[in-house]
Chain A
């Protein structure tokens, strides 16, 4: 059973087609993701990466094609729907409320309260949330000095780390990251990549959308190239090279 589970994909998307009016964003894209795997998703601008992820998480509905989640045919009707199954997407700028502290951000929309009366008033249980945030960050080996600092006072890398922690705080099994390192300094990029590796060790699968091939080659197990809405390459990192991937991307 366990072995069997390891060999079947967690997510499989087949022949996804999606048009916006006259624009064909996806023209039969395929994708599969194994448990505890980091998949790099690359492609030129407008190749369809974001659209494919939005179809997966239920923001858009595909015109045709199938999505399987744990071997079950499944279409998600909304991001809420896919989150319930443990698929979390971290958007570039939509992840955090800058005016709130780390704990508040991690628990945003899922705040905890305790006791009957306190529950009724929605009274926040800050101690419990603080404790759980600390445990979560330790588990992911994320080092943030103070959990009570507003996230806007933190570095870009720390903010990204908080966004990732937020995404996996509630039994996420798949985390989709859209350009998590685009705005980061080299040292911070390394830290975010370390966190991604840690996610894999914790049994979480990651889809990493990135323009930085170097980052993808550093952390991913497999790399997939989209061009003009089609999957044109899907190769293990150890069997490919950056030159090959670049050629796929630009269509050489």
Chain B
């Protein structure tokens, strides 16, 4: 159990480190993300020797393939995370501060919002959730491999922007993100079912991201 939890904590620490690089060292978020993307994946390949790890205890597969009252465990985990995040965003100071930084970072800073700590907190939470997602994915695949999550970073961005989150303007909600995730899930699953190759799906995701952001900009310029 401890070994699995440690994966979540590793994510949390890496996220917090990224957050410190952004909030304290002043690096652009995009660069920090890309740099860590490369460095962390490199470390994972070094530690695993580039080979999949398959000797997992049988009970570990419960996380990815188990069921509770016929509901798959990954769905239950996702549901709980969605509810938790929705509550954080709408009902707590932390969430309010996140929105205010997105809306007007200077105003937030001047109003006494702890901007740096809030940013680090967001990155740390983000990292912890990636750790959790990795746990589920590894359990589903019944093997751990350093490149298992490749492509998910863009899928998650696509789901978020389809859900109407305006990048860098403090707009968006967890409920809408949920709809975005469902839409992306239906889309990729549908494309799989009608035998569209993953290569075309990658093209589709690129088009979707650019298109969703473009439409969002059109809408916000109008108002």
Contact = CB atoms under 8 A, between A and B. Distances in A.
A104 B92 contact: no
Contact of A99 (B94, B111, B113, B171): B171
B92 A124 contact: yes
Interface stretch (B55-63, B97-105, B134-142, B198-206): B97-105
B93 interface: yes
A63 B69 CA distance: 72
A108 B111 contact: yes
**Main DSSP-derived SS at the A contact region:** loop
A94 B92 contact: no
A166 B104 CA distance: 15
A109 B92 CA distance: 12
Contacts of A96: 104, 107
B110 A94 contact: yes
Nearest to A90: B110
A109 B104 contact: no
Interface string A71-89: 0000000011001000000
- Contact residues on B (Cβ < 8 Å of other chain), bracket: 20 to 34
Contact of B104 (A83, A98, A111, A124): A98
A113 B113 contact: no
Given A99-B169, A124-B93, A110 B112 contact: yes
Interface of A: 79-80, 83, 91, 93-100, 104, 108-111, 113, 121-124, 166
6 contacts: A94-B107, A96-B107, A98-B104, A104-B96, A122-B94, A124-B93
Given A104-B96, A108-B111, A109-B111, 19 more contacts: A79-B110, A91-B106, A93-B106, A94-B110, A96-B104, A97-B108, A97-B170, A99-B100, A99-B102, A99-B171, A100-B96, A100-B103, A109-B97, A109-B108, A110-B111, A111-B96, A123-B91, A124-B92, A124-B96
Interface of B: 91-94, 96-97, 99-100, 102-104, 106-108, 110-113, 169-171
